[in-house]
Amino acid sequence: MKIISSPISIAELRGIAQESFGDMVKAVADIEKKIMVIGGELHADGEAFLLDKGSKQNNLWGINIYPDQPRDAWIEFDSMINIRPSQNNRSRTVEDRRIREQITSIVNDLIN
């Protein structure tokens, strides 16, 4: 797993994808710190990693990134860590449009 706080190349992201799932990278975005952790087998691993680094759980959202897809379709907002009834998110997807927009902005800013 790798914390991304400054931009990386799409080529680097593709390399990380090849090392794990082939066409996809699991990531957890911190919408407050505007960082993310990529890689790892489970979103829960990335979540735990960021919590250990001082992130707050209510700011962490699990996503999948498909580096070979067009930018408007390369993020999948699906993860077990997203099930949060206390934040009115009752499914694996990120239901709040504003949070999805924040995540999209973070991903697009951190991957060139």
- DSSP-derived secondary structure for 28-76: EEETTTTEEEE-SS-HHHHHHHHHHTT--GGGEEEEEE-TTS-GGG-EE
Task: Break the chain into its structural domains and give their ranges.
Answer: 2-110
Say how far apart CA 38 and CA 21 lie, in whole Å.
Answer: 12
- At residue 108, the pLDDT reads 97
In the predicted model, is pLDDT for residue 20 greater than 90? no
Which of 110, 111, 112, 37 lies closest to 79, judged by CA? 37
Which tens digits make up the pLDDT trace of 35-57?
999 998 999 999 999 999 999 99
Binning pLDDT at 50, 70 and 90, where does residue 81 land? very high
pTM reported for the whole predicted model = 0.95
Radius of gyration for the chain, computed over Cα atoms and rounded to the nearest angstrom? 13
